[in-house]
Amino acid sequence: MITRMFDATERHRRSILLGGVVVAAVEATLTALDLLSAARSAGLIVIFALLSLLIVASFRQARPTAFVVRPDLTAFVAPAAAGPAYLALCFLLMAADRVGEVLSSVHADGVSSFDIGLVVLQAIASSLLYLQAWIGFDVYLRPDGLYHRRVVGTVFVPWQATPAAHVACRPDGTKTVVIPPGVIPAQDTRAADGRPTEVRMAYGRPELVRTGGLTRNANRIIPHHVDASFLAAAITFYANRPEDRASIGTAHGYRQLQEALAQTV
C-alpha cells in the first residue's frame, strides 16, 4: 500500500504540492483569525505525524538504478521521488502556521523582531524545499556533462573534468564507488544492502567544474533519487566513451547505457 502511495505521489507530485499551498493558506488564515483552534491543532498533529512517517519511509527506500529519458532537456534525469514532496509539505505547513501566529500577534500584543526573523527563515527554507520538490530531480546527465542540483546550489561537471569511476568490493563484502586516485564515498551504515550513498569525485581538471549558489564542496555528488553505484557506473561509461555522449537524452542512447551497465551494477 505504501509503495502505491509513493508511486501516486511521484506521478501527481505537482498537483499535490499545489494542494499543499491551498491548505497552508487556509491554515495561516484560520490561525491569524484564531478560529477552530482545537480542531486545527489536532489536525496539524495528525498531518505532521503522517508526513513524518512518510518522509522516513520514503528516504529509507532503495534508490532506483534507472534514469528517466528527457528528450526535451537532452538529458537522462534521476526519477522523481516522493520524499522531497512530503518534506516540502511539512515545512510549508509549519511556516504557514507560524505566519498565522505572527499575524495574530500583530493585532494582539505586537510581534518581536525575533518572531519576524524566524518567520523569514522558515519561509526561505520551505520555499527552497518546495522548489526542489517541484522540479523533481537532483542529478542529470547531459551530452556536455553531469549536472547536480542541490537545495542551495548547483554543480556542473564537464565530461572532460571527470575521471573514470568504478564499483569495487571492500574486504568485508560491502560495495563502494571508487574514482581514481582512490577517493571513495561515505557508506550509509543504516542501509540494509550496504550500498554507497554518495560519490566523491577526484577531478582530473577541477578548473573546468562550475558551481552556483552556496555550494561548498563540489567533490561530493549526493544523489537522493538515483542509486550512487548506478550513477558512478554511468559516469564511468561516458567518461570513457566520448563518442556515445551525443546520444544522451535519447531512447537509443539509454538502451546503450543499460546494456553497458547490466553487468556492472
The residues near 90 (Cβ < 8 Å, ≥ 6 apart) are 48, 51, 52, 55
Mean pLDDT of 162-168: 59
pLDDT digits (tens, 9 = 90+) for 8-21: 888 888 999 999 99
pLDDT digits (tens, 9 = 90+) for 168-221: 566 666 665 555 533 344 444 444 455 677 887 878 788 899 998 888 888 888
pLDDT digits (tens, 9 = 90+) for 89-121: 999 999 998 888 888 877 667 677 777 888 889
Cα three-residue angle 239-81-188, rounded to 5 degrees: 65
Q: Using CA atoms, how far apart are residues 2 and 55, in angstroms rounded to an integer? A: 12
Mean pLDDT of 215-243: 85
Cα three-residue angle 9-15-21, rounded to 5 degrees: 110
**What is the model's pLDDT at position 244?**
95
